[in-house]
Amino acid sequence: MADITSQITVIDTARARVGRWLDTLMGRLETYAHIRSRRDQIVALEARSDAELAEMGLKREDIAHHVFRDLYYV
């Protein structure tokens, strides 16, 4: 008499697909967060001299407000 054993890895395959989907989702969320981040703009403005900021009509203490001005109303 022959005995045949077979392992079906449907659960492992489904887990792998879900894992890949979650990895893709997290990668896209990180990219979105980086794009929405305005830290680069703040650093660039902070690197300018006070004279350059004055030409733009900005004071050093108003940089954050200038960068995030479209996100809130004050």
Q: What are the structure tokens assigned to 66, written together?
A: 């200038």
State percent of the chain over pLDDT 90: 55
Is there a domain that residue 45 lies in? yes
Mean pLDDT in the chain? 86
How many Å from the N-terminal Cα to the C-terminal Cα in the chain?
83
Is there a domain that residue 47 lies in? yes
pLDDT single digits (tens) 3-30: 676 666 566 788 888 999 999 999 999 9
Is there a domain that residue 73 lies in? no
Domain of residue 49 covers 10-67
Is there a domain that residue 5 lies in? no
Q: What is the pLDDT of residue 16?
A: 87
* Structure confidence at residue 34 as a pLDDT band (50, 70, 90): confident
Number of domains making up the chain: 1
Is there a domain that residue 74 lies in? no
Which residues, other chains included, contact 74 with Cβ-Cβ below 8 Å and sequence gap of 6+? Answer: 65
* Structure confidence at residue 70 as a pLDDT band (50, 70, 90): confident
